[in-house]
Amino acid sequence: MIIEPRMRGFICLTAHPKGAEQNVKNQIEYIKSKGAIAGAKKVLVIGASTGFGLASRITSAFGSDAATIGVFFEKPPVEGKTASPGWYNSAAFEAEAHKAGLYAKSINGDAFSNEIKRETLDLIKADLGQVDLVIYSLASPVRTNPNTGVTHRSVLKPIGQTFTNKTVDFHTGNVTEVSIAPANEEDIENTVAVMGGEDWAMWIDALKNENLLAEGAATVAYSYIGPALTEAVYRKGTIGRAKDHLEATAFTITDNLKSIGGKAYVSVNKALVTQASSAIPVIPLYISLLYKIMKEEGIHEGCIEQIQRLFQDRLYNGSEVPVDEKGRIRIDDWEMRDDVQAKVAELWKEATTETLPAIGDLAGYRNDFLNLFGFEFDGVDYKAEANEVVNIDSIK
């Protein structure tokens, strides 16, 4: 069928398999162009199909020749209906990995569940013996705790008081004011239950209990901080509480890994266009101004550039891993540069529906958004028939 983007609100209902393949190939080419990384050889990526997790899987495989197991939650295609983008990304990734002679298998299902953890442990046991790196890159609005059976839903709200600021509908370019009422205690607890560190710790416990972590194994989860402009709704809001919990969990996990000389890290990454970040009010306006400035300065990065730098310059740089005063790896260093933030704050004041096309990178935002779904890639003939039913090699 001929596949076109079909938008509904902040989501796109379709995805393009050829575009997803191009996306994966572009990321592989980038990693190869940067040279070998002396990284882990057996890697488990939880949340491996899109965004930072996909970039982590590609960087491990094509930067360090690693065997990878990827866990994700994606919708397979059926005749006449496309898959979710991460399905096509993973199909393309496995195909490229196998062509390059690399081990790559994937598990599609709810990573929060006991069943998917069991399946993953068994696969590691059977095929790899142990892993030496575990990337934890889940972004989800909902989690059912397997121990309690309770389903938690995360919310994106400020804490303490109503937050009012500008936001943009990036489809129309309309800049408006948005007000978000504050969270209650239950909202906070639920958001921490979904996006905090509890499930990360459960994964590492399960792996360690069955001796599936190699001596000196590392695990990394991703966090965000961002500027004062978004603080009330992000870092000091409900999601920020979850990130505080995730960051604290790194220390608990490190204690747990002492006996094998292992370590848990949180890496603070840059603001990027993903399905998750597009749904957060205020963030798209911030990103469109930030992109404009970082591109002008020649310091703009996407997920793959960020993760390449994380692996090469931080995790596997041949010496100490540089961290901040709270023990976090910072690859948001260029986003958070004083000169960059001062310019964003200046432009923020001027941003209106009329000024934004000139002072912000709305076009770049839209392009990146469509790229998430496999659209707008050079080298793909979007007018041609594409087969929507694409299989992932390792998934029957």
Residue 233 interacting with ligand NAD (CB under 6 A): no
Could you say which of 24, 67, 71, 356 contacts ligand NAD (CB under 6 A)? Answer: 71
Nearer to ligand NAD, 145 or 252 (CB): 145
Sole residue written with tokens 């930030």: 290
Q: Is 121 annotated as belonging to a binding site? A: no
Distance CA 128, CA 158 (A): 44
Applying CB under 6 A, the span of 164-172, 265-273, 318-326, 338-346 interacting with ligand NAD comes to: 265-273
Question: Pick from ligand NAD, Na ion, none: which does 277 bind, CB < 5 to 8 A by kind?
Answer: ligand NAD
Degrees, nearest 5: CA angle 30-55-324: 105
Crossing angle for the helix pair 51-64 and 85-99, nearest 10 degrees? 0
- Which listed range, 34-42, 174-182, 268-276, 348-356, lies at the site for ligand NAD (CB under 6 A)? 268-276
| Number of chain residues interacting with ligand NAD (CB under 6 A) | 29
The distance in angstroms from the start CA to the end CA of the chain is: 23
**∠ Cα 74 77 80 (to 5°):** 145
* Side chain identity at residue 170, one-letter code: F
Per partner kind, with CB cut-offs from 5 to 8 A, the member of Na ion, ligand NAD, none near residue 64 is none
Measuring CA to CA, which residue among 276, 253, 267, 211 is closest to residue 56?
A: 267
Of 50, 23, 56, 25, which is closest to residue 219 (Cα–Cα)? 56
Query: Where do contacts with Na ion occur on this chain (CB under 5 A)?
Result: 47, 51-53, 137
Query: CB 335 → Na ion: shortest distance, Å?
Result: 18
Check residue 74 for interaction with ligand NAD (CB under 6 A): yes
Site for ligand NAD in 310-369 (CB under 6 A): none
Cβ-count burial 27-53 (b if 16+ within 10 Å, e if not): bbebbeebeebebbbbbbbbbbbbbbb
Nearer of residues 115 and 297 to ligand NAD, judged by Cβ: 115
Binding piece for ligand NAD, criterion CB under 6 A, among 61-69, 136-144, 156-164, 319-327: 136-144
Residue appearing with tokens 């919708």: 75
Task: Please check if 238 is assigned to a binding site.
Answer: no
Is 62 among the residues that bind ligand NAD (CB under 6 A)?
A: no
* Residue among 55 and 250 whose Cβ is closer to Na ion: 55
| From candidates 28, 67, 95, 138, binder to ligand NAD by CB under 6 A | 138
CB of 272 to Na ion, least distance (A): 11
Q: Does 110 bind ligand NAD (CB under 6 A)?
A: yes
Residue 365 bears catalytic tag: no
- If the CB atoms of residues 73 and 316 are measured against ligand NAD, the closer one turns out to be 73
Residue 340 is which amino acid?
Answer: V
Cα Rg of the chain, angstroms: 20
**Hey, which residues between 15 and 54 contact ligand NAD (CB under 6 A)?**
47-53
With respect to ligand NAD, which residue has the nearer C-beta, 61 or 214?
A: 61
Active-site residue, selected from the candidate residues 136, 222, 234, 316: 234
Q: For residue 193, state whether it binds ligand NAD (rule: CB under 6 A).
A: no
The single residue among 168, 264, 271, 289 that binds ligand NAD, judged by CB under 6 A, is 271
- Confirm or deny that 61 is annotated as ligand binding: no
112 binds ligand NAD (CB under 6 A): yes
Give the nearest residue (CB) to ligand NAD.
51
Binding-site residue numbers for substrate are 224
User: Which residue ranges make up the site for ligand NAD (CB under 6 A)?
Assistant: 47-53, 71-74, 86, 110-112, 137-140, 222-224, 269, 271-272, 274-277
Residues serving a catalytic function are 234
Binding-site residue numbers for NAD(+) are 47-52, 73-74, 110-111, 138-139, 243, 272-274
